[in-house]
């Protein structure tokens, strides 16, 4: 009985010490990595890998405390081991793919990307799956085998991203003046990046308006605010200059004795 109590105490101490060691080593490694790489985005992954390594060592220590040998278990697997191998084929495939993903840096925590039609922010890259938080708040666990084989689209490969805004003006508008006002709006809006330079492109003669496309670059944190701010600024400048943004119009011609033409505005 005394021997069992001693083993229990040693096991508890081992677990407690390993937990404290895990916390301290993780903080030290993270501090060291951030010192050389300010943009490190794999903190959860680092914690996972470190936890697995320490857990393996702790497992062997605890087994040694209880005088348990793995050799008889390994040799006794026999045919059962082959069956287990087939059963573990899929998890092992995900594990290998996870190692490739972690070593290649193809997918990193905090990145906004699309994996095979699932778009969102990467919360963590685990050994067997990758956790994606979609734009509508869902959490999707994608097996790493699928992540490795699917086409991956990175929405923010750099610090800025191009955005497009379509603006339509009335057919009565002075187009040179319209372009000047749009250029001034792009220049005055602080959240629009000036390098690369914004551009204004003629898109065509629409059913109710002459359309232009504003192409400009924004930082990640300004992606939505910049679009809202520029839209408000364009409308404000158009109102000040008397430039009309038309609503859709449909002309309906009625054939008859009176040959009347009725304009229906929607």
First to last CA, the chain: 89
- Return the SS3 of 189: coil
The answer to whether residues 216 and 185 touch, using CB atoms and an 8 Å cutoff, is no
CA distance 132 to 140: 5
Residue 195 has pLDDT above 80, yes or no: yes
Query: What average pLDDT score do residues 14-43 get?
Result: 81
Q: What is the pLDDT of residue 42?
A: 67
The answer to whether residues 227 and 235 touch, using CB atoms and an 8 Å cutoff, is no
- Return the SS3 of 244: coil
What is the rounded average pLDDT for all residues in the chain?
84
- Return the SS3 of 216: strand
Q: What is the pLDDT of residue 192?
A: 96
| Class of residue 230 by CB neighbours under 10 A (exposed 0-12, middle 13-18, buried 19+) | buried
CA distance 160 to 146: 28
pLDDT tens column, 153-192: 999 888 899 999 999 999 999 999 999 999 999 999 999 9
- Closest alpha carbon to 249 in 263, 259, 261, 234: 263
Q: Does domain 160-249 have CATH number 3.30.70.100?
A: yes
Instruction: Give the start-to-end residue ranges of the domains of the chain.
Output: 2-68, 90-154, 160-249
Residue 39 has pLDDT above 70, yes or no: no
The answer to whether residues 156 and 111 touch, using CB atoms and an 8 Å cutoff, is yes
DSSP letters, 63-86, are HHHTT--SHHHHHT-HHHHHHHHH
Q: What is the pLDDT of residue 65?
A: 84
Q: Does domain 90-154 have CATH number 2.40.50.140?
A: no
CA distance 138 to 132: 8
Per the model's pLDDT, the better-predicted residue between 101 and 204 turns out to be: 204
pLDDT tens column, 100-150: 887 777 888 888 999 999 999 999 888 889 999 999 999 999 999 999 999
Residue 266 has pLDDT above 90, yes or no: no
- Give the H or E element holding residue 130: strand 129-134
- Maximal CA-CA distance, the chain: 114
- Closest alpha carbon to 222 in 142, 139, 153, 160: 160
Distances in Å between the Cα of 196 and the Cα atoms of 99, 193, 215, 233 are 37, 7, 10, 20
Instruction: Describe the crossing of helices 89-104 and 78-87 by its angle, rounded to 10 degrees.
Output: 60
Q: What is the DSSP letter of 193?
A: B
Query: What average pLDDT score do residues 241-248 get?
Result: 89
Residue 84 has pLDDT above 90, yes or no: no
């Amino acid at each position: 009985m005394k021997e069992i109590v001693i083993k229990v105490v040693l096991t508890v101490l081992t677990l407690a010490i390993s937990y404290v060691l895990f916390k301290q080593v993780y903080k030290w490694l993270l501090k060291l990595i951030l010192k050389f790489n300010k943009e490190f985005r794999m903190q959860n992954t680092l914690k996972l890998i470190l936890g697995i390594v320490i857990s393996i060592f702790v497992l062997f220590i605890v087994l040694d405390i209880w005088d348990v040998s793995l050799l008889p278990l390994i040799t006794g697997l026999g045919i059962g081991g082959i069956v287990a191998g087939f059963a573990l084929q899929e998890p092992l495939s995900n594990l290998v793919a996870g190692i490739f993903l972690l070593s290649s840096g193809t997918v990193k925590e905090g990145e906004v990307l699309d994996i095979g039609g699932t778009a969102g922010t990467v919360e963590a890259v685990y050994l067997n799956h990758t956790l994606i938080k979609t734009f509508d708040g869902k959490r999707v666990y994608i097996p790493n085998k699928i992540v490795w084989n699917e086409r991956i689209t990175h929405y923010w490969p750099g610090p800025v991203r191009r955005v497009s805004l379509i603006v339509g003006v009335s057919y009565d508008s002075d187009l040179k003046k319209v372009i000047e006002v749009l250029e001034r709006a792009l220049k005055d809006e602080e959240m629009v990046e000036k390098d690369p330079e914004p551009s204004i492109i003629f898109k065509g003669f629409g059913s109710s308006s002459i359309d232009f496309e504003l192409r400009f670059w924004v930082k990640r944190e300004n992606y939505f605010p910049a679009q809202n701010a520029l839209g408000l600024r364009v409308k404000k400048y158009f109102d000040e200059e008397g430039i009309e943004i038309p609503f859709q119009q449909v002309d309906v011609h009625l054939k008859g004795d009176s040959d009347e033409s009725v304009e229906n505005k929607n």
